[in-house]
A and B are shown apart, each in its own frame.
Chain A
Amino acid sequence: MNFSRIFHNLNYAVSALLFLMGLYTVTVKPNLIKKLIGLNIMETSVFLLIVSLGMIPDGQAPIVTNGVRPSMMVNPIPQALILTGIVVAVSTTAVALSLCIRIHEKYDTLDAFKIHGRGGL
């Protein structure tokens, strides 16, 4: 365990920590909306990890303007992939919240154990 390297790669370590916090929320908390918040935290932590891979010292945004040489730009590939990822995250959150509304209309609760007790899930 190279502690100085872990402290230098602080973005990656915080991404791992946020992933674990999200995973704890999804598995332990019984409320469905809390699980969705945990799922979103997991997704954004992975985005943080992938975009932090492309950073260079004194980097500039990857847009061609006057005074920005291509060797000074950060890596544009992770940013393009994560843009799609953010869109997919918000789409799945919207569908999941619609499902929560319908589940509440049918079972009158949003607690996972009580829904299982009333014959659902």
Chain B
Amino acid sequence: MRKIMVLAALVVIGIVLLYAVGKMPPMNSRNTPDKTHVVPRYLNEGESEGGAKNIITGVILNYRGYDTMGEVTVIFSALCATIALLDREKRKVSRSGVDASGVRASVIVRTVVRFLVPIVVFFAAYMILHGEATPGGGFQGGAIIGASVIIFTLVFGLPESTRRMPLKARVPFESIAMLGFLAMGFIGIAFGVNFLTYVLPGLHGSLVDTIRSQMLMVIEIGIGIGGGLVFTSIVLAMVREDEYELQPDIPQP
């Protein structure tokens, strides 16, 4: 009964939405109203005003810097919420049930992963640092670092992974994204202009361009490392299962 009522309501909403789609201007055409007023300014002056050859990086870090600060806040709050829910107490031994069978992964998988994880981290560093001239950027590199830590944890087990990235080493760097953003923002206030203004308006020259590029790169590195550590900490917190009595360290075969 519920299903039929919901389906009827959805059919009505669907007809209304399809009627609206029929009234929209045709897709894939050049002179719709949303592309003629504001967008040519962003495309023509995006490189000189935004400060990066990748116009999207210029938009998210310069034209829309507040939105990116909000996004970093959301990531950081998600990390706080996940750890508050799951990582309740400190245990001497962190066990996870995902790899509790006691059988190690095969030699081929272990060798390939051990060979591949440094290359993936290197690629993530390339993507973070080169985000201003090619597709990429801060957050993409952070997600790739998170994915590489995930694959390492799944193959080698949680104790190995926690041994290489202990909590004491992760905590000082997890808020580096937020603090980097705020630091770069307050530099603008220190010079008397608005928050998140990178160079004083009215200055030109190649030294000013270099300074702005470097400030953007500091923010991107911050977002990359911060985002990567957030994903790492979320996955390591979810994989871990709490034991209710302390277990001795079981030697792996």
The answer to the question of B24 belonging to the interface, with a C-beta cut-off of 8 Å to chain A, is yes
**Interface stretch among B38-46, B119-127, B178-186, B207-215?**
B38-46
Contact of A23 with B10 in the complex, beta carbons under 8 Å: yes
Q: Which residues in B have their C-beta under 8 angstroms from that of A88?
A: 71, 74
B143 to chain A, nearest CB (A): 8
The answer to the question of B110 belonging to the interface, with a C-beta cut-off of 8 Å to chain A, is no
The answer to the question of B166 belonging to the interface, with a C-beta cut-off of 8 Å to chain A, is no
Main secondary structure of the interface of B (DSSP, over half): helix
Contact of B6 with A99 in the complex, beta carbons under 8 Å: no
Contact of B60 with A80 in the complex, beta carbons under 8 Å: yes
A12 to chain B, nearest CB (A): 5
Contact of B46 with A76 in the complex, beta carbons under 8 Å: yes
Q: Which residues in B have their C-beta under 8 angstroms from that of A19?
A: 17
Q: Which residues in B have their C-beta under 8 angstroms from that of A67?
A: none
The answer to the question of A1 belonging to the interface, with a C-beta cut-off of 8 Å to chain B, is yes
The answer to the question of A121 belonging to the interface, with a C-beta cut-off of 8 Å to chain B, is no
Question: What are 23 A-B interface contacts by the 8 Å CB criterion?
Answer: A8-B27, A9-B22, A13-B18, A19-B17, A20-B17, A23-B13, A53-B34, A57-B30, A62-B43, A62-B56, A63-B56, A64-B53, A70-B46, A73-B55, A76-B55, A76-B59, A77-B38, A81-B67, A87-B75, A88-B74, A91-B78, A98-B85, A98-B238
B92 to chain A, nearest CB (A): 21
Question: Which chain A residues have a beta carbon within 8 Å of chain B's beta carbons?
Answer: 1-3, 5-6, 8-13, 16-17, 19-20, 23-24, 27-28, 52-57, 61-65, 70-71, 73, 75-77, 79-81, 83-84, 87-88, 91-92, 94-95, 97-99, 101-102
Contact of B21 with A54 in the complex, beta carbons under 8 Å: no
Q: Which residues in A have their C-beta under 8 angstroms from that of B29?
A: 56-57
| Contact residues of B between 37 and 72, Cβ < 8 Å to A | 38-40, 42-44, 46-47, 53-56, 59-60, 64, 67-68, 70-71
Contact of A75 with B24 in the complex, beta carbons under 8 Å: no
Contact of A98 with B27 in the complex, beta carbons under 8 Å: no
